[in-house]
A = this chain, B = another copy of it.
Amino acid sequence: MIQAKQWEELIHLGIDLSTYKTLKKLLKKIALESIKLMNCQGASIYIKNGHQIDFMITQNTVLEKKLGNLEDIFKIFSLPISNESIAGYAALKKETLNIPDVYQIKKDNPYRFFNNIDVIYQYKTESMLTMPMLDTNQNLVGVLQFINRQNDENEIKSFSKGDEFIGKYLSSISAIAIKNASFDQLLKESYHETVYRLAVASEFRDLETSLHIQRIGEYSSLLWKKMGNSSEDAEIIKYASQMHDIGKIGIPDRILQKPGPLTADERKIMENHTLIGGKILENSNSSLIHLSQSVALSHHEKWDGTGYPNKLKGEEIPLIGRVVALTDVFDALSSKRVYKPAFGIDKVISIIKEERGKHFDPKILNSFLDTLPQILEIYEKYKE
């Protein structure tokens, strides 16, 4: 039943699917190949999203001839994972439904066929094969649906046992490919969660306003891009730089919230926030947390070696530490603090220029000055 040519195509698809980086392209590939391999008119893919399945993509050779690119026409909609619809039923029961004619579904079946698309676009759905996509733990990933199987004379036929076998292969390799395509995104989000919750915790100590934290993130990531680094990194930089003062969680209130100047002993304790931040964030496998630790430890080091805690000098200081050293000082000077008013931008810039080669890396300072108009846009946008 399955021809040699088909076997080969299936294998090629198995190799191919592992190389699709974005979910959207992957789904389109699966739908297009499904149509070819199953010799049917259409294929649709639903992806599980909480308690429902989202209709993500449909490809249909007949409708396409009539309507053009279907992606512009059919938008994402959702179905509950329940008995009512065909796809919802397949998702709920994790069962394959091989229906010869959707208009002949018996009344005593729990599910029914929704014919809106047929009505609107004057199409006739007839045979339909609907399969759940399950991951390695047999959890639902989504639903794959094939529409209108054709024979060599282009007559609509039922899907066969052989088609079910190919469908099983397609849904198996698609399930793991889809999960993979979402993997990096999910993992990234979960690490963002660590940073986010630490930031929320620190806000309850009145450490910094969330506006200060946001500005530092925006300034630092802008500067990072300006210096010619990739924009993917820039997103990590945004989050990591926001962690620079997380170690202040461990500084006693009497020092952290002292309105007047600190004594030498108190300053010593305050400077510990760099080391405490280092401890809170140490030993992570996540590049985001790792970079956060680096910035927590190094954002008070100075280019001329007079900073703390390790008196690092020049390029011994991690790049991100040098960037945040500058954006942190710029933000402190240009904002109101309990002990000082907000300085005007001209004054801030002239103070910062004074520190070229002393506090600040001259190259980073140049980039900063070059990008001043955008810096000031952020300043206005996230003003206290």
Interface size on A, residues (CB 8 A): 58
The docked-state distance in angstroms from the alpha carbon of A202 to that of B198 is 10
In the complex, which of the residues B17, B136, B177, B280 contacts A197, with contact meaning CB atoms closer than 8 Å? B280
* Chain B residue at minimum C-beta to C-beta distance from A276: B204
Q: How many copies does the complex hold?
A: 2
B14 lies within 8 A of A172 (CB) = yes
| Further pairs besides A4-B4, A137-B184: 20, Cβ < 8 Å | A4-B7, A14-B173, A15-B168, A18-B134, A18-B135, A18-B172, A19-B136, A136-B180, A173-B173, A176-B176, A180-B183, A190-B190, A193-B284, A194-B197, A197-B198, A198-B198, A198-B201, A201-B246, A204-B276, A252-B253
Chain B residues with CB under 8 A of A137: 21, 184
A250 lies within 8 A of B205 (CB) = yes
In the complex, which of the residues B7, B173, B190, B191 contacts A7, with contact meaning CB atoms closer than 8 Å? B7
Interface residues of A in 26-48 (CB under 8 A from B): 26
CB distance from A65 to the nearest CB of B (A): 31
* Chain B residue at minimum C-beta to C-beta distance from A18: B172
Chain B residues with CB under 8 A of A193: 190-191, 194, 284, 286, 289
Chain B residues with CB under 8 A of A249: 201-202, 204-205, 249
* Interface residues as binary, A233-274 with B (CB distance below 8 Å gives 1, 0 otherwise): 000000000000011011011100000000000000000000
A201 lies within 8 A of B286 (CB) = no
A197 lies within 8 A of B11 (CB) = no
Chain B residues with CB under 8 A of A4: 4, 7
Is A200 on the interface with B (CB-CB < 8 A)?
yes
The docked-state distance in angstroms from the alpha carbon of A280 to that of B196 is 9
Interface residues of A in 186-222 (CB under 8 A from B): 186-187, 190-191, 193-194, 197-198, 200-202, 204-205
Main secondary structure on A side of the interface with B: helix
Could you list 22 A-B pairs, sorted by A, with CB under 8 Å? Answer: A4-B4, A7-B8, A11-B169, A14-B173, A15-B173, A18-B135, A135-B180, A136-B180, A137-B184, A180-B180, A180-B183, A183-B183, A187-B190, A193-B289, A197-B289, A198-B198, A201-B250, A201-B280, A204-B247, A204-B249, A204-B276, A253-B253
Which A residues form the contact surface with B (CB < 8 A)? Answer: 2, 4, 7-8, 10-11, 14-15, 17-21, 26, 134-138, 168-169, 172-173, 175-177, 179-181, 183-184, 186-187, 190-191, 193-194, 197-198, 200-202, 204-205, 246-247, 249-250, 252-254, 276, 279-281, 284, 286, 289
Chain B residues with CB under 8 A of A181: 136
Chain B residues with CB under 8 A of A135: 18, 180
The docked-state distance in angstroms from the alpha carbon of A14 to that of B204 is 51
B190 lies within 8 A of A18 (CB) = no
A18 lies within 8 A of B136 (CB) = yes
In the complex, which of the residues B177, B187, B198 contacts A187, with contact meaning CB atoms closer than 8 Å? B187
Chain B residues with CB under 8 A of A183: 179-180, 183
The docked-state distance in angstroms from the alpha carbon of A370 to that of B73 is 63
The docked-state distance in angstroms from the alpha carbon of A55 to that of B197 is 38
Chain B residues with CB under 8 A of A284: 193
CB distance from A31 to the nearest CB of B (A): 18
The docked-state distance in angstroms from the alpha carbon of A249 to that of B14 is 51
Q: Which of A11, A249, A289 has the most CB of B within 10 A?
A: A11
The docked-state distance in angstroms from the alpha carbon of A250 to that of B249 is 9
Q: Which of A19, A168, A187, A194 has the most CB of B within 10 A?
A: A194
Chain B residues with CB under 8 A of A246: 201
Q: Which of A15, A26, A191, A289 has the most CB of B within 10 A?
A: A15
List the 3 closest A-B pairs by CB distance, nearest first. A204-B250, A7-B7, A190-B190
